[in-house]
Amino acid sequence: MLSTDTSPMETILNPKTPKDLGALHALIKGQLPDWVDEAGFLRTYDLAAYLGISYQALYKIFDRNKIAPKRAKALVVLSEGRLTLEDFAEFM
């Protein structure tokens, strides 16, 4: 049963804790601390814009645990050396 102090939609749009979105998401989130907000969420809208894709496309990448080499290269550049293409080998 849902709590009476928040609506179901509010709960969906403003979750209390970050969700586990898989190994690729964890890798990116762990190596891009500047792209994680104070609540512990990866700033997916901003990251998607940086990659030149929609946030929905970014979530598809996380859902499938697959990333195109072009996007992986962009993340390597963004990470300033914290990520390498080898880190993404299992996801390409």
Sequence-distant (≥ 6) Cβ neighbours of residue 67 within 8 angstroms = 24, 61, 75, 88, 91, 92
pLDDT 10s digits, 1-33: 444 554 444 445 555 555 678 999 999 999 999
Query: How many whole angstroms separate alpha carbon 22 and alpha carbon 73?
Result: 20
Specify the pTM: 0.76
